[in-house]
Amino acid sequence: MVSGYLDHLTVERGLAANTIASYRRDLRRYTEFLDTAGVHRLAEVAETDVAAFLAALRRGDDDHPPLSATSAARAVVAVRGLHRFALLDGLVPDDVAHEVRPPAPARRLPKAIPVESVVALIEGAGALEGPRGLRDRALLELLYGTGARISEAVGLAVDDLDRGQSVVRLAGKGGKERLVPVGSYALRAVEDYLVRARPALAATGRAGVRGGALFLNARGGRLSRQSAWSILRTAAERAGLTAEVSPHTLRHSFATHLLDGGADVRVVQELLGHASVTTTQVYTLVTVDRLREVYASSHPRALT
């Protein structure tokens, strides 16, 4: 039966050789599991047997290490496909694997960097002499100071920043706008850039100022996302940061540091522009991990 199913996947479905090889290993392990349980025919398999196989994959044994959620999910998909194939071929009366769901992969937690690393990153951006250094520092200060997405930051116009009220208008996903406070460090960096750097960038080349963009490139046009990414990467190299720094790193750090400081998760939701608080709550998991670390290292009876 397994050979027939794999032939079907190869010939009828045209799956890649590597995928077929993975399915073959998964189904070999499945049949070995069933044999050990005294189940020797596919028609004898019950839903509980399939569920027990999934549990065994996640638990591991003397011959197999525990599988990750992703690897276990692939194996369950192979098993579900086998039972569905057998049902369609009339070899079994029911698809007993239909209700056994593959495990969801572990949710990737956002990676924040410590405050001192943020400071080093911003200092690295400002180390470049001339207008570009002032621009780069202002960009990173604004990203960390507001939690803006990098696309939101490069999309800003000069008029989107209200320096009198210390707020910035960000256009998020779906064109939804939000007002976010701008801290003193970011505000000062942006003001330095506007006074001492932006006019020089605007006057460079033939492009001139395009639509009042806040952040300009060396040709006087709007700074692109790719250029902003490059600024961030270069600043991380200058700062000697070994941790991976992505365009979202400062946004993640903004949210995590706010929650670490006692901010309400719904306030952080509004600042980030999340439609649902569920999206924001992933940052609370990071904060709980940090609390565990502090507890384990600080409480006199935390260590065993």
Q: What is the pLDDT of residues 84-143, one digit of tens each?
A: 999 998 889 999 999 898 887 666 667 889 999 999 999 999 988 999 999 999 999 999
Average pLDDT over residues 277-297: 74
Dist CA 45 CA 86 (whole Å):
12
Domain boundary among 88, 103, 123: 88
Same domain, 132 and 79: no
- What pLDDT sits at residue 155? 94
Q: Model confidence over 6-33: pLDDT tens digits?
A: 988 888 888 888 889 999 999 999 999 9
Task: Identify the CA nearest to 238 among candidates 137, 121, 114, 113.
Answer: 121
Q: Which of 74, 80, 149, 222 is catalytic?
A: 149
Same domain, 76 and 132: no
List b or e across 234-247, with b for residues whose CB sees 16 or more CB atoms inside 10 angstroms: ebbebbebeeebeb
Q: Answer yes or no: do 150 and 249 share one domain.
A: yes
Domain membership flag for residue 98: no
Q: How far does Cα 243 stand from its chain's mean position?
A: 15
Q: Say if 21 falls within a structural domain.
A: yes
Residue 173 a catalytic site member: yes
Q: What is the pLDDT of residue 25?
A: 93
**What is the per-residue pLDDT for 243?**
78
Contacts of 41-48 with CB under 8 Å at 24 or more apart are 42/1, 42/82, 42/83, 42/86, 42/91, 42/92, 43/91, 43/92, 43/93, 45/83, 45/92, 45/96, 45/97, 46/96, 47/96, 47/97, 47/99, 47/100
Q: How confident is the model at residue 161 (pLDDT cuts 50, 70, 90)?
A: very high
Q: What CATH number is given to the structural domain containing 64?
A: 1.10.150
- Whether residue 174 lies inside any domain: the answer is yes
Residue 242: give the domain boundaries.
Answer: 115-296
Given 132, 137, 251, 252, the catalytic residue? 251
In CATH, what number is assigned to the domain containing residue 197? 1.10.443.10
pLDDT score recorded for residue 195:
95
Please say if 58 is a catalytic residue: no
* Same domain as 146, residue 81: no
> 255 phi and psi, to 5 degrees?
-65, -45
For residues 274 and 269, give the distance between their C-alpha atoms in angstroms, rounded to a whole number. 5
Residues 70 and 161 in one domain: no
Residues 17 and 131 reside in one and the same domain: no
Same domain, 61 and 194: no
Compute the distance between CA of residue 221 and CA of residue 207 in angstroms, rounded to an integer.
Answer: 6
Residue 222, domain member (yes or no): yes
- Is 295 an annotated catalytic residue? no
Q: How far apart are the first and last CA of the chain?
A: 53
Q: Which pLDDT band, with edges at 50, 70 and 90, does 208 fall under?
A: very low
Residue for token pair 């991990």? 289
Q: Which residue has the higher pLDDT, 120 or 210?
A: 120
156 shares its domain with 66: no
Is residue 174 over pLDDT 90? Answer: no
**pLDDT digit string, tens, across residues 178-191:** 999 999 999 999 99
- What's residue 237's pLDDT? 93
Count structural domains, the chain. 2
Is it the case that residue 304 has pLDDT exceeding 60?
no
Distance (Å, whole) CA 252 – CA 151 = 15
Q: Which residue out of 169, 178, 248, 290 is catalytically annotated?
A: 248
Domain termination residue (choose one: 53, 73, 88): 88
Averaged pLDDT, 43-48: 92
Between 54 and 278, the higher pLDDT residue: 54
193 is catalytic: no
User: Would residue 119 count as lying in a domain?
Assistant: yes
Q: Is the dihedral of CA 90, 92, 94, 99 positive or negative?
A: negative
Q: Is 274 known to be catalytic?
A: yes
**209 has a pLDDT exceeding 80:** no
Residue 301 falls inside a structural domain: no
Query: Tell me, what's the pLDDT at 107?
Result: 64
From the candidates 59, 64, 163, 173, give the one annotated as an active-site residue: 173
**In one letter, which amino acid is 71?**
S
Q: Give the active site residue among 5, 23, 30, 283.
A: 283
**105 within a domain of the structure (yes/no):** no
Under the banding of pLDDT at 50, 70 and 90, the label for residue 235 is very high
**Comparing C-alpha atoms, which of 153, 152, 157, 151 is closest to residue 138?**
153
